[in-house]
Amino acid sequence: MNILETENLSKTYVTKLGGNKVTALTDVTFSVEEGEFIAIMGESGSGKTTLLNIIATLDKPTSGKVCIMGKDTSDISGKEAAAYRRKNLGFVFQDFDLLDNFSIRDNIYLPLVLSGMKHGDIERRLMPLAAKLGIEKLLDKFPYEVSGGQKQRTAAARALITQPSLILADEPTGALDSKSSNELLDLFSVVNKEGQTIVMVTHSTMAASKAGRVLFIKDGRIFHQIFRGNMTEHEMYARISDSLTAISLGGEPVE
């Protein structure tokens, strides 16, 4: 079953100064099966963040469509879009996006509180999840009292507690040191093996090497992809590195 499908997706912006048209995406078509872990890579300005924002219903395509769980999200707007995101999507951002005046517990609670779930039901979801992420002793602290890695684990818990169809991660290791990055990526691997579908935008070859498939975007188009198959993480890392080098030099990616 496909969790996500994009079909002939294009996005063109008109600049405020001069009214020039800038094409961010052109004819992007791909699908994501339930339980996949996909990384999207590309140079700055390649269109990968625009693609993620459209998938997240935070932006709309100029043409084409996005379907999540078989539902065309193109016509969703306003309150319906916010409710749809809370129910179906989980988000992990580079800058954590936590509320400093909320405890770790309340930050994780927030999406379920907004959806109207009862406190007891939320607590029953939280405790096993907090234990899995190693943050059960931090729940009464505030974001400014914990490390970057712990903040990102909190953000991951907030994304996972809604039991979403799809996790969208935008440069989730970008603000972390190498140890915290590895811990977060190991967590992603664990929840993915448990069946969670993940789409992650990243500049990090190390992060992408954890995925089962890597899509490369160049000039707003899907340029190449690598399937892990039976490759080890080391072999996947090498293939990704070689492909990125070839793409940046204007050559053909490594097959």
- As averages over each run of 10 residues, the pLDDT of the chain (255 residues) reads 93 80 92 96 89 91 92 80 86 89 95 88 91 92 94 92 93 89 91 95 94 94 93 95 86 59
Distance between CA atoms of 210 and 172, rounded to whole angstroms?
A: 13
pLDDT of res. 254: 54
Please give the helix or strand (H or E) that residue 237 lies within, else none: helix 233-248
Task: Note whether 6 and 28 are within 8 A (CB).
Answer: yes
pLDDT of res. 103: 96
Distance between CA atoms of 31 and 175, rounded to whole angstroms?
A: 29
Half-sphere exposure of 79 (CA within 13 A, CB side): 2
User: Of the candidates 146, 140, 136, 192, which has an alpha carbon nearest to the alpha carbon of residue 169?
Assistant: 192
pLDDT of res. 208: 96
**44-67: buried (b, 16+ CB within 10 Å) or exposed (e) per residue?**
eebbbbbbbbbbbbeeebeebebb
pLDDT of res. 79: 76
pLDDT of res. 242: 92
Three-state DSSP at 92 gives: strand
Task: Note whether 154 and 104 are within 8 A (CB).
Answer: yes
E-strand ranges in the chain read 2-14, 21-33, 37-41, 63-68, 71-72, 89-93, 166-170, 197-201, 213-218, 221-227
pLDDT of res. 114: 86
Distance between CA atoms of 73 and 69, rounded to whole angstroms?
A: 10
Q: pLDDT tens digit string along 160-202?
A: 999 999 999 999 998 888 988 998 999 999 999 999 999 999 9
